[in-house]
Amino acid sequence: MGMLGCGMPFQGGYSASKAAVASLTESLRMELAPVGVQVVNIVPGRVKSTFFQSSNGDVLPEDSIYAVAREAIEGPMNGRTSVSDREDAGEWAKRVVQGMTSANPPHLVYRGGQAGAGKIASTFPLGTWDWLFKKWSGIDVLEQELEKRKNQGKS
């Protein structure tokens, strides 16, 4: 899951792994509560990291139907997105610890760049943000191109 609590286009595997961890965390939270163990799900926003340093520069095939949205798709795959709202990892860690060290920590701890926006956005019904995800991922460009091709075929 992305920080908005849903899958993001072209990030299905990554989103699925986060969803699995969130589900496991919720199960453990209830299972371990009777023995005094508190389990907290940390929901990270954007944090500066070396995550993409091992990226091999993935590219779409030249003849891919998605090529019309190449930059929007390849940029996030290779870490070429805005870093201005990514929180320093050390500061992020301090804030996470602060959120978890109270006597009664919350079940969910949101920390990192844009985490507050993610928390608010996650309260909306699934599908509310599809238009935004389509724009971020280039799917809107693909849809326009496919519609254009469809209309050209009719003339």
Annotated active-site positions, please?
A: 14, 18
Would you list the DSSP string of 26-54? Answer: HHHHHHHGGGT----EEEE-BB--STTTT
With contact defined as beta carbons under 8 Å apart, do 137 and 69 qualify?
A: yes
C-alpha to C-alpha distance for 122 and 133, rounded to whole angstroms: 14
C-alpha to C-alpha distance for 60 and 9, rounded to whole angstroms: 15
Q: Going by C-beta distance under 8 Å and a sequence separation of 6 or more, which residues neighbour residue 27?
A: none
Structure-block tokens of residue 83:
């870093």
In sequence order, the β-bridge partners of residue 111 are 44
